[in-house]
Structure 1
Amino acid sequence: MKNKNILWLYVFLIVGIIDLVLTAEQNAELRIYTKPFIILPLAIYFYQISKDLKGTILRKAMIAALAFSWLGDILLLYPQLFLYGLGAFLMAHICFIISFKLSQEKPFEIGQVNFIKLFFYNLPIYIPAAIMYYLIQANLGALKIPVVIYILVIVTMVTTARERFKKTNSSSFWQVFIGAFVFMISDGILALNMFFQQFPESGVMVMGTYLLAQLLIVMGVRAHFIN
């Protein structure tokens, strides 16, 4: 059964590579048939391997995150639906935050918090987010408030992933943290291309980092409950 489940990862990678090729060729017409099917096999894979977690909030949150990502992929195919796509990925990130919080030891334990130390730990996350916002803010117009909210949520997602350090196994921590950070990079490239300076390689860079991020997050959460 485990070997059969791995086939869904191969499907995810194959569809993702095909979509990357079409993105590089700027073939928007055919991408309508590939992009909506990127996340589906990854979601099926997680659904199959997480049956032991049936009924748990962790499983529901992860499946919801992948479902919102799937919806966001479809909506972002159409420029006029950008705000709705942004909303879908906002919900995906909130679900990922819940998943990251639950996929650690004693997730609700409250201990002493050194806010100064915490700030410096998270500084490598805050700096690129702040730079990206500084570069795009002049061109956001009416989207300024939604984009600010989105940036705050994705930064929270990455910091939540970082806070899992020593609260799960090493494999789970690094895959989830790197995946979350790469997700922020993917969104940053998309924002810079849309609101700062367009560049032809952006599409491939956005999708390449996006595929890697989703795969790492799923495999990282898997590593937590498998081990």
Structure 2
Amino acid sequence: MRKKEILWLYIFLFASLADISMIIHPEINYRYLTKPLIMISLMLYFLQSTKLIKGSLLRITVSAGLFFSFLGDTLLLNKDLFLYGLGAFFMTHVCYIIAFKLTQNQTLNLFKVNFIKMFVYNLPLYILTAFIYFLIHAQLNELKIPVIIYTMAIVMMVTMARERYGRTNSASFWQLFIGAFLFFISDSLLALDRFFYPIIDGDLYIMGTYILGQLLIIMGIRSHLLQVNKASN
């Protein structure tokens, strides 16, 4: 890694630890500084490390996903702006779905897809999602439709991450898949904490899984690009 890339990773690490410390010792005002800095530094790291694909659809979609994550993080600091934060993260998932599709070595041929096999592979995720929705649906009220739409988006994101198996190198697949699943876990914990029953130290678990998830997604994309660069040289 180049020094400038490492610098942004250090800033990301600093912002992450600072934000977690603000959760442990509740300082909501300081979190308006620490929380947005997490995604800003990660986005700048990604942009710095992907100059070779400047202007590509992949770079644009991942950068947009990180920007919407930054926007969602900021909006969710105010509980009255929850719906707007949800909308921002919905756009993040849309961007990541496109990016995950772009970071595959093989194109998807719908005529050769075994949909039954695909459904069976994704069934544990569907069951977990249905169970979480069952727990929270009674408290959603006017948010029911937005939450359903959002849930479909994040499930599709994790599904698309799993569909990369065998279509990229092992490091890229596992980094990105685990990252996407941690993102899903983070959102699930947030939903349970807000709409089912308050989780002890919930904010800590939510941010911990979210931060690690986002980092692994970016590292997974980077691992794929490194393989592509080696193959072309």
TM (norm. structure 1) is 0.97
- Structure with the bigger RCO (C-alpha within 8 Å, sep 6+) is 1
Distance apart, 1:114 and its partner CA? 1.4
Distance apart, 1:172 and its partner CA? 0.4
* SS of the residue 2:112 aligns to: coil
1:74 maps to 2:74: yes
Report matched runs for 1:7-46 at 5 Å: 7-46=7-46
Aligned position for 1:196? 196
Report matched runs for 1:58-137 at 5 Å: 58-137=58-137
What is the CA–CA distance in structure 2 between the aligned matches of 1:167 and 1:106, rounded to whole Å?
Answer: 6
* SS of the residue 1:147 aligns to: helix
| Unaligned segments of structure 2, at least 5 residues | 228-233
Q: Which stretch shows the higher mean deviation, 194-203 or 88-97?
A: 194-203
What is the CA–CA distance in structure 2 between the aligned matches of 1:185 and 1:123, rounded to whole Å?
Answer: 16
What is the CA–CA distance in structure 1 between the aligned matches of 2:30 and 2:55, rounded to whole Å?
Answer: 38
| Unaligned segments of structure 1, at least 5 residues | none
Distance apart, 1:169 and its partner CA? 0.4
1:216 maps to 2:231: no
Aligned length: 227
Distance apart, 1:212 and its partner CA? 0.2
What is the CA–CA distance in structure 1 between the aligned matches of 2:25 and 2:123, rounded to whole Å?
Answer: 37
What is the CA–CA distance in structure 2 between the aligned matches of 1:157 and 1:57, rounded to whole Å?
Answer: 17
- 8 Å contact from structure 2 (residues 180, 213) kept in 1: yes
User: Residue 133 of structure 1 aligns to which amino acid in structure 2?
Assistant: Y
Distance apart, 1:109 and its partner CA? 4.0
What is the CA–CA distance in structure 2 between the aligned matches of 1:144 and 1:134, rounded to whole Å?
Answer: 12
* SS of the residue 1:55 aligns to: coil
Amino-acid identity (%) = 53
CA deviations on 1:89-121 (whole Å, 9 max, x unpaired) are 000010000000000113354451111111111
CA deviations on 1:180-221 (whole Å, 9 max, x unpaired) are 000000000000000000123100000000100000000000
Distance apart, 1:55 and its partner CA? 1.5
- 8 Å contact from structure 2 (residues 61, 98) kept in 1: yes
